[in-house]
Structure 1
Amino acid sequence: MQLSVIHETRYRYETPVLQAHHMAYLRPVNSSEQQLHEFSLAIEPEPSAQAWSMDRYGQQRCYFELTEPHEELLVVARSRLSTTALPPAWQGKFPSVVLPDGIPWEAVARAMQYEAGQAFDDAREYAQPSPLAPVQDSFRDYALATAPRRDWSAHQVAAALCHRIYRDFQYKPQATDVSTPPLRALALRAGVCQDFAQVMIAALRSLGLAARYVSGYLLTEPPPGQPRLVGADASHAWVSVYCPQAGWLEFDPTNNCLAGETHVRLAYGRDYGDVAPLRGVIRGGGSHELDVGVTVMPE
């Protein structure tokens, strides 16, 4: 599928910002699932300094600095890319999706533990706790209550968790914010895609499995007979789960499916804190208003 994406972020400040330092993860990754053809990033006011670099996971990020007083910041990222469809057997909603073969999840959990002299596997980092996806008994209990049989693969466990979170949780944008701990979201049984993803990651890590956070976009279809509204889409998040035999596979608990050709990958990290689309430190500004508009369109 050929897609174009426009991601517009606008900050309006109560008082002038005297100095600002920002980091943006807005350039989609190149991977086996997608190929980036064009990308541009426009920033107003014009930065006094701007530089691209690779993060620890090999992904492109943009640092920019503003040294002139400003009351508004506008960042617009435009991308053109192509995505790859899933095999037909993998398409649809859980539990009807056919998953690739894998070794039992307990064997995967043992392989994710650090031992002296073992062969290097960079997936082990994603089995460790992180600030917004910790390892705790509450998450382990939630995962075990999903009835992961001993002979299930890591991806079968992930599919069961994906289906249960979709069934148990309500999508409520006002119930949480970007700093809400996943334990709070688990107690509320409510939140947005970021919360669903981080609850699922924390549950998998609490079983000893490796799971990472995926930041990106989702192509949504307008109601029949209605035009596609510019800026009506939003950023999205889902989960990538590892099995040594089958590799990484991506699960979307908000929509109870595998991530396919309608999903655009921006970046991978341990949790949202690693790959927030735009974050920064400012001096001045007072309170602010934030408007974010995302448009994902098939070409």
Structure 2
Amino acid sequence: MLYDVSLTIEYNYAATSDRARNLVRLLPSNIVGVQQVRQRLLQVTPRPDERRDGVDFFGNAMSMVAWHHPIDAMSLNLTAKVERFDTIVPLDFSPRLAEFARDLSAVHGLGPDAPHHFASASPLVSPSPAMTAYARDLVDPDMTAMQVVEVLGRALHRDMTFDPEATDVNTPPEEAFENRHGVCQDFAHVMIAALRGIGIPAGYVSGFLRTFAPPGQPRLEGADAMHAWVRAWVGQETGWIEFDPTNDQFAGTDYITVGYGRDYGDVAPVRGVMRTSGGQESRQAVDVIPLEDVT
């Protein structure tokens, strides 16, 4: 499936900033077997005094922008054309959970895709007794690692409620899990913590999700949103798989990946520092528009 993707993020500051610097991760990249980027452009307004584009350790595109003069607003505008390949749920050649540690220990590399980077605590996600116990109550040692991922993801979809008012970007996974409410970031962080707690490496995926208008209603421009889901390493034979606990499904052709990381902190769309006073207002609009199927 071929998609036109557009995103606008706008910030308005109560007072002009005296210098600002941001790290932006919004550009989708080519991923072998998953997606191909035909076109991509990130425009930053006002024009920054510095801009450096590069790739981080995990292979995500990133742009560093900075202003050396006062600004009172900033906007990011992404346009991209991305082909998402048809994907099917892979055959399950993953080891049983009881034998999984042996499979993991046989991996010796430490490249960006190595599961060892995703097996233990990361800055925003640490295994917790409560989430580990929740996972252990759902699985048994004779399940394969892939079965464990699916069972846990579907259970979180059943037991947690999507609630955009319940949390914010700084809410820890423990709080979201205790209250059983949150947004896609919380669903992903809880699932990652639970999987790591029982020994399965898991990471965070940031991207876009194609959404559908209710039957009989027109599609609203700008109504789509950035999304988050989970990737888990389930053994040397099957490798990485991706599951979306918010929507109770494996990631497929409706998903466009922007970045991989250990948690949200590795792939946050916009991070930065600025010197100012007062608050700020922000607005976001996203469109994921499917074009004709690629033949």
| Cα shift readout 1:59-112 (whole Å, capped 9, x = no counterpart) | 21000001221111111111101112233xx4xxxxxxx852211123223443
Q: Indicate the SS of the match to 1:16.
A: strand
Aligned ranges 1:136-215 → 2 under 5 Å: 136-146=128-138, 148-215=139-206
Q: Is the 8 A contact 1:39 1:78 kept in 2?
A: yes
Q: Deviations over 1:186-240 (max 9, x none)?
A: 1010000000000000000011111110001100011233322221111100000
1:93 — aligned with what? none
Is 1:236 paired with 2:254? Answer: no
Counterpart residue type for residue 19 of structure 1: R
Say yes or no: does 1:37 pair with 2:29.
Answer: no
Separation in 1 of the partners of 2:220 and 2:101? 44
Q: Which one-letter code corresponds to 1:23 in the other structure? A: L
Gaps of 5+ in 2: none
User: 2: distance between equivalents of 1:29 and 1:188?
Assistant: 35
Matches within 5 A, 1:1-299: 1-31=1-31, 32-87=33-88, 90=89, 100-112=92-104, 119-120=108-109, 122-146=114-138, 148-243=139-234, 244-299=236-291
Instruction: Give the structure-1-normalised TM-score.
Output: 0.92
Residue type matched to 2:60 in 1?
Q
Alpha-carbon distance between aligned partners in 1 of 2:157 and 2:287, rounded to the nearest angstrom? 24
More deviation, 266-275/29-38: 29-38
What are structure 1's unaligned runs of at least 5 residues? 91-97
**Aligned residue pair count:** 286
Given that 1:215 and 1:267 are in contact with CA atoms closer than 8 Å, whether structure 2 keeps it comes out as yes
- How much does 1:279 deviate? 1.3
Counterpart CA distance in 1 for 2:210 and 2:38 is 18
Q: 8 Å contact 2:45–2:76 — kept in the other structure?
A: yes
Work out the CA distance in 2 between the residues paired with 1:140 and 1:166: 17
Aligned equivalents of 2:67, 2:218: Cα separation in 1: 38
Considering only aligned residues, what root-mean-square deviation do their CA atoms show, in Å? 1.5
| Shift in CA distance, 111/137, structure 1 to aligned 2, threshold 3 Å | farther
SS at match of 2:167: coil
Find the aligned partners of 1:231 and 1:249 in 2 and give their Cα distance: 29
Q: Is the 8 A contact 1:11 1:289 kept in 2?
A: yes
- Asked if the contact 1:109–1:207 (Cα under 8 Å) also holds between the matched residues in 2, the reply is no
Partner of 1:185, secondary structure, is: helix
Range moving further from structure 2, 100-109 or 238-247: 100-109
Instruction: Please list the CA deviations of residues 162-203 of structure 1 after superposition, one character each: whole Å capped at 9, or x if unmatched.
Output: 110000001110100111110111101000000000000000
**Distance in 2, Cα, partners of 1:132 & 1:256:** 23
Contact 2:91 2:238 in 1 (8 A): no
Letter in 1 for 2:23: M
> For residue 234 of structure 1, what is the amino acid of its counterpart?
A
State the identity %.
Answer: 38
